[in-house]
Copies of this chain bind each other. A is one copy, B any other.
Amino acid sequence: MTDRADLDTVFAALADPTRRAILTMLLEDDMAVTDVAEPFEMSLAAISKHLTILTRAGLIAQEKRGRVKWCKLQPDALRGASVWMQGFGQFEPVNLDAFERFLASELGGEDETRE
């Protein structure tokens, strides 16, 4: 499932504010590399490296269509890390079951876009 190396790479990927911002942007929609880079004050090459790190962590997937490479979120990759964190159950974590039910009600009730 989720071994140590996975957790290393996922947590390391999340430890950078630029990469977290990229993930947040991708929550809205899939994006091309150039569009991902646009709001940042940094070179395209730097963004490309960040995207490579996110891809290696499994947090996003990149698919090339034509000459454009599309980036899309792979939120399942967060699950292993999340579960690890919830293992510190001495606090009351965000309850995954409740979260699932929340999502189900949200997705089922008002925005049935999930196929």
Q: Which residues of A contact B (CB under 8 A)?
A: 4, 7-8, 11-12, 14-17, 20, 23-24, 27-28, 73, 75-76, 78-79, 81-95, 97-99, 102-103, 106-107, 109-114
B114:A27 contact, CB within 8 angstroms: no
A97:B85 contact, CB within 8 angstroms: no
Q: A85-B85, A98-B113 are in contact. List 6 more A-B contacts (CB 8 A).
A: A4-B17, A7-B15, A11-B14, A14-B81, A75-B89, A86-B94
* Chain B residues whose CB sits within 8 angstroms of the CB of A87 once the complex forms: 24, 27
B93:A28 contact, CB within 8 angstroms: yes
Minimum C-beta distance from A107 to chain B (A): 6
User: What is the chain B residue whose CB lies nearest that of A17?
Assistant: B4
Minimum C-beta distance from A3 to chain B (A): 10
A90:B27 contact, CB within 8 angstroms: yes
Contact for A95 among B17, B76, B111, CB less than 8 A: B111
Minimum C-beta distance from A113 to chain B (A): 5
* Chain B residues whose CB sits within 8 angstroms of the CB of A16 once the complex forms: 8
Contact for A106 among B11, B83, B98, CB less than 8 A: B98
